[in-house]
């Protein structure tokens, strides 16, 4: 089995490389049969193949069982677009679980354990923007709230699209994830659906209506709906009440970073993007250019994304062993990176995780 590896930009490779060493240890110990393959990306690919994301890279990604991806600030961004839109990875899963020892700003974060499921392909991420002038010829059924479009002056627009197909599949994904989590924990599955459905009744309202309709097919799952601004307050005031939360793309982008802030910051934010026949795994944070080259980036997000990847591939024992080792590293607190109040380097942290693997 092949896993494509894209190390990413700035400080991301500093988190990816020692994480890969740990995954390779698990690979050997559990005889997982993983071959790591490196698609040609960025400047070297440009030199060899005349493109920063050549066909050869796409073929390696396609042939692999999944892709392990380091954050990008440019070089690998075409790969990111391919992994999302090209591979139709429509459900972006971003767990928010507090481990004892993480540096949360809350006085009592113990027990925070929820998952943001973000629709990953549509909403304002269609990438359709333009000059308002281009719209003036169109005959909108309603006047805008500021008057006729011809009266509101020069400016730009962006298209926000919520489709039935796109919404149904991500909402089903959320319901099914809640069922799996509840079964494992022996409790009632709970889904929260959030969007700005008061102001955007036709688009965000459609997203929430579809969730309400689909709830009838999952009678064991409790469904709550909150308007996104109210939800932003609840995520801080009552994070322990949340289980699985589903929302349109842009809100999910923002709220998943907010969720990471609750437990101790973006260095902890794992992420996996799932489609019908492909998934890929990347940390939710950016490339941290301000600390590039210092060997202090927190690799937890990268490692926990690795846990999600191992589980996706069915390597549950290896995934569990890695997750426990990360937990143990936080619990003993000797090798935490500066963002968690420690003085350890990225490689110290990974050495501690490696020691705790017990393999």
Between 122 and 253, CB nearer to ligand IPM = 253
Q: Which stretches does DSSP call E strand in the chain?
A: 2-6, 35-37, 66-69, 91-97, 113-119, 129-131, 156-158, 190-195, 222-227, 244-247, 272-274, 279-282
Tell me which residues in 155-214 interact with ligand IPM (CB under 6 A): none
Q: Is 10 in the site for Mg ion (CB under 5 A)?
A: no
Ranked by CB distance to ligand IPM, the top (closest) residue is 253
On whether the CB atoms of residues 256 and 246 are closer than 8 A, the answer is no
Q: How far is the CB of 78 from ligand IPM (least distance, A)?
A: 12
Between 285 and 356, CB nearer to Mg ion = 285
On whether the CB atoms of residues 54 and 71 are closer than 8 A, the answer is no
Q: Is 282 in the site for Mg ion (CB under 5 A)?
A: no
Q: How far is the CB of 260 from ligand IPM (least distance, A)?
A: 10
Give the C-alpha separation, 122 to 338, whole Å.
36
Q: How far is the CB of 270 from ligand IPM (least distance, A)?
A: 12
Q: How far is the CB of 252 from Mg ion (least distance, A)?
A: 9
Give the C-alpha separation, 244 to 241, whole Å.
10
Tell me which residues in 106-165 interact with Mg ion (CB under 5 A): none
Helices (H), 202-344: 204-215, 228-237, 249-263, 300-312, 316-332
Between 37 and 124, CB nearer to ligand IPM = 124
Angle at the Cα of 114 (from 65 to 32), degrees rounded to 5? Answer: 25
Q: Is 284 in the site for ligand IPM (CB under 6 A)?
A: yes
Residue 89 φ/ψ, nearest 5 degrees = -85, 90
Between 123 and 253, CB nearer to Mg ion = 253
Query: How many CB atoms neighbour CB 332 within 10 A?
Result: 13
Q: How far is the CB of 28 from ligand IPM (least distance, A)?
A: 31
Which of 253, 282, 323, 339 binds Mg ion (CB under 5 A)? It is: 253
CA distances from 306 to 68, 73, 146, 267 (A): 8, 21, 48, 14
Between 10 and 253, CB nearer to ligand IPM = 253
Q: How far is the CB of 120 from ligand IPM (least distance, A)?
A: 8
Binding mask 47-66 for ligand IPM (x = CB under 6 A): --------------------
**Length of the chain as a residue count:** 359
Give the C-alpha separation, 97 to 268, whole Å.
9
Mind giving me the DSSP string for 7-21?
A: --STTHHHHHHHHHH
Residue 5 φ/ψ, nearest 5 degrees = -120, 125
Number of residues that bind ligand IPM (CB under 6 A): 2
Binding segment (CB under 5 A) for Mg ion, from list 77-85, 200-208, 252-260, 344-352 = 252-260
Binding mask 242-261 for ligand IPM (x = CB under 6 A): -----------x--------
Between 125 and 175, CB nearer to ligand IPM = 125
Q: How far is the CB of 323 from ligand IPM (least distance, A)?
A: 22
Q: How far is the CB of 155 from ligand IPM (least distance, A)?
A: 23
Binding site for ligand IPM (CB under 6 A): 253, 284
Residues found near Mg ion in the complex (CB under 5 A) = 253
């Amino acid at each position: 089995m092949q896993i494509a590896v894209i190390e990413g930009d700035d400080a991301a490779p500093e988190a990816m490389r020692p994480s890969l060493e740990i995954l390779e240890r698990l690979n050997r110990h559990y005889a997982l049969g993983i071959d790591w393959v490196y698609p040609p990306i960025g400047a070297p690919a440009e030199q060899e193949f005349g493109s920063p994301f050549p066909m050869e890279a796409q073929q390696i990604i396609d042939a692999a069982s999944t892709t392990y991806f380091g954050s990008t600030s440019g070089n690998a961004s075409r790969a990111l677009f391919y992994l999302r839109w090209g591979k139709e990875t429509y459900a972006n899963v971003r767990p928010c679980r507090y481990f004892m020892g993480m540096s949360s700003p809350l006085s009592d974060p113990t027990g925070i354990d929820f998952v943001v499921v973000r629709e990953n392909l549509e909403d304002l991420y269609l990438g359709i923007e333009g000059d308002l002038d281009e719209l003036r010829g169109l005959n909108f059924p309603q006047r805008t709230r500021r008057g006729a479009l011809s009266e509101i002056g020069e400016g730009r627009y962006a298209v926000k699209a919520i489709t039935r197909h796109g919404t149904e599949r991500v909402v089903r994904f959320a319901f099914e994830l809640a069922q799996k989590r509840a079964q494992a924990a022996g409790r009632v599955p709970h889904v929260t659906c959030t969007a700005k459905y008061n102001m955007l009744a036709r688009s965000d309202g459609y997203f929430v209506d579809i969730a309400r309709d689909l709830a009838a097919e999952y009678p064991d799952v409790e469904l709550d709906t909150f308007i996104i601004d109210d939800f932003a307050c609840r995520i801080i005031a009552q994070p322990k009440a949340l289980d699985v939360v589903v929302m349109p793309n842009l809100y999910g982008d923002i709220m998943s970073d907010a969720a990471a802030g609750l437990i101790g910051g973006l260095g902890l934010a794992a992420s996996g993007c799932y489609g019908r026949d492909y998934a890929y795994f990347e940390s939710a944070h950016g490339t941290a250019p301000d600390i590039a080259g210092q060997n202090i980036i927190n690799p937890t997000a990268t490692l926990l994304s690795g846990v999600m990847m191992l589980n996706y591939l069915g390597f549950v024992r290896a995934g569990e062993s890695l997750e426990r080792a990360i937990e143990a590293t936080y619990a003993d607190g000797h090798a935490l990176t500066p963002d968690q109040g420690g003085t350890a380097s990225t490689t110290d942290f990974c050495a501690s995780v490696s020691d705790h693997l017990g393999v």
